[in-house]
Amino acid sequence: MPMTSDTVDTPLPAALPAQPISQDVLMEKYARGDEHCIDDIHRRVARALAQAEKPEDREAWTSRFRQALQDGFLPAGRIQSAAGTTLAATLINCFVQPVGDSITGDDEGHPGIYVALAEAAETMRRGGGVGYDFSRIRPRGAWVAGTQSSASGPVPFMRVFDCSCQTVESAGARRGAQMGVLRCDHPDIEDFIGAKDHAGLTNFNLSVGLTDAFLQAVCDDRSVELVHRAQPGPSIHTDAQHRRGDGLWVYGTRPARALWDRIMRSAYMHAEPGALFLDRINADNNLSWCETLVATNPCGEQPLPPYGACCLGSIDLTRFVKYPFEPAARFDEEGFSRLVGVAVRMLDNVLDITAWPLQRQRQEALGKRRIGLGFTGLGDALVMLNLRYDAGEGRDAAQRIAQSLRDAAYAASCELARERGAFSLFNADLHLGRGTFASRLPEPLKAQIRAHGIRNSHLLSIAPAGTISLAFADNASNGIEPAYAWTFARHRRLPEGGMEEYVVEDHALRLFRQRKGAHAALGPAFVGALQMSAQAHVEMVAAVAPFIDAAISKTVNVPADCTYEDFKDLYMHAWRRGLKGLTTYRPNPGLGAVLKEAVSRSMCVGCTTPMAAG
């Protein structure tokens, strides 16, 4: 793929008219007051984010921020809908909240279950989705000494969180979303895997926290121990139970391959659970010296510590394809990198102007200043460059774009550190050592970080970006995904209840028709999600992931007639390729639909796209 700094293009055709669903979603979810178009929202958002600048510079930054929005920077949905309004809402899309093993008491810094429930309800009331690791909760049948009784296990408590999310959702127009994680060695892991067998936990996405030790046991066909800190109670006592030298109680053993088969068969039938590769996530973490990551936000693109937040935004890659569909098609790397720099500043400003549902969330965010800048429209951009998503040339192009994103974002954060100071926990030796993501940066960037620090502990994340791509980018392909289809029916949930169906066209198809004519034959680059192998989906994430410091939201869509034999190795393949996580979706009659022919897991706040982890 040619990369260029050339910003001169042939005269552009007239702008594509808005699709009805794009205009309706824009007005329902993002427009406020007397706003009627995208530019009205741009003016409000730009002015709001400029309030973090020095008073004498605010007008100039308002103008620059507005231009950045017009050039293709798409802040996440909470920013678009609430920045500059009087809404008592957060500008942060999603959080991770800790849950301890007690009813209301503190568990080594983790709040009790019902305290965590109240914190989650307040977070969702303010517009944020929430992810949790429920692994600290003692297993079903474990002994509760204080009440001389047996524990119910994490899954029944998850149902309480599920009902709370449903109740909070009914009080507002935006849908709440939750991610529930359980470690692969928790004694209740089988209950967790089967939690959606009978349509339960409808307000949750589920992912298993997988360790390298467990996955190696699968490869080696060994058994694994199911363990917990809590002592087994008399109702489940067996002679095989014992306490290990590390203090954990062994509740039982399972053949690793049998447990793995349960995970994969559930994913095949129900699109749940997803996979989170915990050791890979933590080894890559720039802050692994001071935090352990055990859960993600509901879409999986942000592994976060307790009270961590996703401050997200995406850049529409289709805006940077010059001469689309022509033999001379090329990607404007220089223009893209300039926009990345401004977008980093805008997201850093969000942290200072947003309302925080909880004080602990504010403290966590301002101590580390995590942001998650990514891109959307990759699939369409590759089509416009005449490159197939499922071919090596397409993956090479995506990798170069991701590398440009990384380099420009880290350079911009270094410049912000010179101006505003590094994040308060910054330590150059720890940040750049120990095999972290930052340790693999180019030497010139590492030299800048050592000299000046860096403003943000993490900078990069590829979110689904479903609704913002629909409303602000003419239904460009979402996030890292290929286009699902070129023309399809899509369902939109109405604020007053019920569903409305729209016929929707992909942006790349609309642009092709405008430039080439209604009857021009589509080229070989027009390949959709279900027209490529599942392995091709994984390989695209593997190409991009080395340049993304947080994670990538990715769903592998497979056709309904995909056999289990062809499906069962997807998560293992993802682990071997060094991914941080993955989810899958195979259409079946038991699942509802947002798109006519497919649906995925529950939708994140502001998203109507498959939830995933990558």
Q: Which sequence positions are flagged as catalytic?
A: 297, 299, 301
Place of tokens 């170069």: 400
Torsion of CA 215, 216, 222, 228, to 10 degrees: -60
Helix (H, G, I), strand (E, B) or coil at 417: helix
Report the DSSP pairing between strands 487-493 and 499-505: antiparallel
For 333, which DSSP code?
Answer: H
First and final C-alpha spacing in the chain: 24
Contact 446, 482 (CB under 8 A): no
Contact 205, 195 (CB under 8 A): no
Contact 562, 524 (CB under 8 A): no
Report the DSSP pairing between strands 129-133 and 487-493: unpaired
Instruction: Specify the amino acid at residue 326.
Output: E
Cα dist from 525 to 79, 240, 360, 381, 477, whole Å: 34, 58, 47, 10, 14
The enclosing H or E element of 168 equals: helix 154-169
Place of tokens 């030299």: 447
> Which candidate, 493, 496, 462, places its Cα nearest to that of 479?
462
Cα dist from 482 to 380, 388, 389, 395, 594, whole Å: 7, 10, 7, 12, 17
Tokens of 304: 């976060």
> Which candidate, 74, 54, 124, places its Cα nearest to that of 95?
124
